[in-house]
Amino acid sequence: MRWLMRRLAHAALLLFGVSALSFLFLEMAPGDYLSEMRLDPQIAPETLAALRQRHGLDDPLPVKYGRWLASAARGDFGHSFAYNMPAAPLVWTRARNTLVLTITAALLSWLAAVPLGLWFAARRGGWVDRSGAAATALLLAIPDLLLALALLMFAVRTRALPAGGMVTPGAGGLLDLAAHMVLPVAALVLGGLPLLVRHVRAAVVEVLDAPFIRAARAHGIPPLRLLWRHALPAAANPLVSLFGLSIGTLLSASLLIEVVMGWPGLGPLLVEAIMARDLFVVIDGVLFSAVFLIAGNLLADVLLYVADPRIRTA
């Protein structure tokens, strides 16, 4: 328990640091949202000045940051100039959509990677393993962008699936959502699967060489049970750590895929906000992504703690 508290405190500190750094960097950035608006002749300079005053855009950095922290404690994470609404709810809705995508993709990837990795490890050296390795290498070499574009092209040509967006306007429901999810999730899974399979295979291969596996085999334990009940739990340790790491890569991949496929997640929002210099949206978006990543790592650590008795006693 003490350990968990420490990790949480550490995570909180990290988030503070990230937010402070973001503020610092944005401060050093030339121009902000309102300076872009200055070029618009329809907006009176007095309005702009008033807006600047209201949001404290000209205050010194520590004041800005302090004010943001204080309001964040109250749940107010700043104001989006582009959308003219509080930044937090905006970011949260988009973040939810990203989560839906990434969690589904993560589950599917691991569900596919573990059996495949086990299979290749069990048949290592054989043609199954070698063709698997070749397929993995090829898939790894295909950039996510290409995968996304290829999938989109396929969807538009065959009209089998909706190409882009999250819901069909007018329609609704789970089935519709699922149909829209197929393409982005497929792109994410195909992009992440090869590396996962490789790691699972490597971890299992290392375990299969261990003496206790050989002993079990000598005792006549059938190979399937051997893999599932003996090898896999022993290989779980590095894999659980990998799970934490894969969250980060999945989030990065989803940024691009969301933009390409028009999925209304954090990715497109962030890109928009950068172009428009929408200060608070950028910071909040970046912070959200950090929260996901840190949460994912924390989850992985907890899983490791629970799964591996050796760590508990350490």
Q: Which residues bind other proteins (CB under 8 A)?
A: 14-15, 17-18, 21-22, 25-26, 28-31, 125, 137-138, 140-146, 149, 152-153, 156-157, 163, 247-249, 251-253, 255-256, 259-260, 270-271, 273-275, 277, 282, 285-286, 289-290, 292-294
Q: How far is the CB of 55 from other proteins (least distance, A)?
A: 18
Tokens of 21: 């750094």
Least distance CB 291 / other proteins (angstroms): 10
Closest approach, Cβ 56 to other proteins, in A, equals 19
Reduced to 3 states (helix: H, G, I; strand: E, B; else coil), residue 80 is strand
Is residue 269 within 8 Å of residue 285, measured between CB atoms? yes
Contacts of 300 (CB under 8 A, 6+ apart): 240, 241, 243, 244, 245, 247
User: At closest approach, how far in Å is the CB of 222 from other proteins?
Assistant: 26
Strand spans (E) along the chain:
79-80, 85-86
Q: What is the largest CA-CA distance in the chain?
A: 86
Contact present, 91 and 280 (Cβ < 8 Å): no
196 vs 293, which CB is nearer to other proteins? 293
Task: In whole angstroms, give the CA distance from residue 253 to residue 251.
Answer: 5
Return the number of the residue (163 or 185) whose C-beta is nearest other proteins.
Answer: 163
C-beta of 15: minimal distance to other proteins in Å? 8
**For other proteins, which is the closer residue by CB, 230 or 288?**
288
Task: Give 86 or 296: the residue with its C-beta nearer to other proteins.
Answer: 296
Q: Decide whether 22 or 227 has the Cβ nearer to other proteins.
A: 22
Distance in Å, CB of 64 to other proteins, minimum: 15
No. of H helices and E strands in the chain?
A: 14, 2
Contacts of 208 by beta carbon, 8 Å cutoff, 6+ apart: 121, 122, 124, 231
65 neighbors 20 (Cβ within 8 angstroms): yes
